[in-house]
């Protein structure tokens, strides 16, 4: 385990930070203001692109990759990603620790006849910490958590929770921000302090996690004997895990998912994908 992750793990026992929840509750009414605070998030939907890249032999139309899959969106916020997933046919559950966020997400989805008609099996929301879901036997084909990891207090515990919610052979998607000088400059200094595009206090540099720290975590997870990603220094194979940079192009006002291994692309925002081995089950967890 990386020292940085450990140090933080010692401070709190639950992954949820009350101050973070209060911060996002204050902003919750702005979730669906597409020109406002969260405009960057509205444009960030890289899941499908990765899914397509990972399944080049996919014969079906690209829009049906997720059809019928059980998908869990951890830290769904106002439901930006959850709604998209539901439209693509995924049986989506969005959970968030902020009650205000869940209210907003429900209200917004109720106004959309396409989502409302499809019913709760297609899209539902729950105000709960992700940890509470472990009590249910239900597991998911895809667990995703976009731009959440940098806000939690105990990343190893959070990662463990998310991983255990994935079905064997299922996928875990995380997008977050790397702990680099560039990330500090772009996401805190420029976005919060200079351009004021994002509320001050949204990000804390020390909480950012580097992609290699995530890979290192899964080299020993759930235990050193049968990890999700093979041990040693070799790059994870394409069937195990992948790190891809997400680069915001301010001119086009859109995110670009950098190709695998693009140099320097994962220095700020990045997407991490890892697959749970098909043989793994709950007993593997310590």
Tell me whether residue 96 is annotated as binding.
yes
Number of residues near another protein (by CB under 8 A): 37
Count how many Cα atoms sit within 13 Å of the Cα of residue 265 in the half-sphere of its side chain.
Answer: 19
Instruction: Report the length, in residues, of the chain.
Output: 286
Tell me whether residue 75 is annotated as binding.
yes
Residue 140 Cβ vs another protein, minimum distance, rounded to whole Å: 17
Q: Which of 2, 4, 42, 260 binds another protein (CB under 8 A)?
A: 42
CA dist., res. 45 & res. 37, Å (int): 17
Taking the CA atoms of residue 46, residue 191, residue 159 and residue 66 in that order, the dihedral angle to the nearest 10 degrees is -20
86 lies in the binding site for another protein (CB under 8 A):
yes
CA dist., res. 120 & res. 141, Å (int): 18
Q: For the segment 65-84, give every residue that binds another protein (CB under 8 A).
A: 66, 83-84
Tell me whether residue 23 is annotated as binding.
no
CA dist., res. 284 & res. 224, Å (int): 11
21 lies in the binding site for another protein (CB under 8 A):
no
| 286 secondary structure, DSSP code | -
113 lies in the binding site for another protein (CB under 8 A):
yes
258 lies in the binding site for another protein (CB under 8 A):
no
Residue 91 Cβ vs another protein, minimum distance, rounded to whole Å: 13
Residue 88 Cβ vs another protein, minimum distance, rounded to whole Å: 4
Strands (E), the chain: 70-74, 91-96, 123-127, 140-146, 166-177, 241-249, 254-257, 269-275
Strand order across the beta sheet in which 70-74 lies: 123-127, 91-96, 70-74, 140-146, 166-177, 269-275, 241-249, 254-257
CA dist., res. 57 & res. 2, Å (int): 37
252 lies in the binding site for another protein (CB under 8 A):
yes
106 lies in the binding site for another protein (CB under 8 A):
yes
Q: For the segment 217-236, give every residue that binds another protein (CB under 8 A).
A: none
14: tokens are 């639950």
Give the binding range for another protein (CB under 8 A) out of 20-28, 167-175, 180-188, 204-212: 20-28
Tell me whether residue 150 is annotated as binding.
yes
107 lies in the binding site for another protein (CB under 8 A):
yes
Annotated binding site: which residue ranges? 75, 96, 146-147, 150-151
Q: Contact positions toward another protein, by CB under 8 A?
A: 22, 25-26, 28-29, 34-35, 39, 42-43, 45, 48, 61-63, 66, 83-88, 99-100, 103-104, 106-108, 110-114, 252-254
């Amino acid at each position: 385990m990386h020292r940085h992750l450990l140090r933080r793990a010692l401070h709190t026992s639950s992954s949820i930070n009350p101050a973070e929840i209060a911060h996002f509750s204050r902003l919750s009414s702005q979730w669906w203001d597409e020109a406002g605070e969260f405009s960057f998030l509205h444009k960030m939907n890289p899941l499908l692109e990765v899914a397509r890249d990972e399944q080049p032999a996919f014969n079906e139309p690209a829009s049906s990759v997720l059809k019928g899959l059980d998908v869990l969106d951890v830290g769904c916020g106002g439901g930006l990603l959850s709604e998209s997933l539901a439209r693509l046919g995924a049986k989506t559950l969005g959970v968030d620790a902020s009650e205000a966020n869940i209210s907003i997400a429900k209200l917004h989805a109720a106004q959309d006849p396409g989502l409302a008609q499809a019913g709760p099996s297609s899209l539902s929301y729950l105000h709960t910490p992700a940890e509470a879901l472990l009590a249910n036997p239900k597991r998911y084909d895809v667990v995703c958590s976009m731009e959440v990891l940098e806000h939690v207090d105990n990343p190893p515990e959070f990662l463990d929770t998310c991983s255990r919610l994935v079905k064997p052979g299922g996928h875990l998607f995380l997008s977050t921000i790397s702990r680099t000088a560039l990330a500090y400059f772009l996401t805190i200094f420029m976005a919060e302090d200079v351009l004021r595009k994002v509320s001050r206090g949204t990000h804390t540099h020390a909480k950012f996690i580097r992609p290699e720290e995530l890979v290192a975590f899964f080299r020993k997870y759930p235990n050193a004997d049968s990890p999700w990603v093979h041990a040693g220094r070799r790059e994870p194979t394409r069937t195990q895990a992948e790190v891809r940079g997400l680069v915001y192009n301010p001119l086009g006002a859109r995110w670009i998912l950098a190709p695998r291994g693009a140099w320097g692309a994962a220095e700020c925002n990045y997407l991490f994908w890892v697959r749970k081995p098909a043989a793994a089950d709950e007993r593997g967890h310590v």
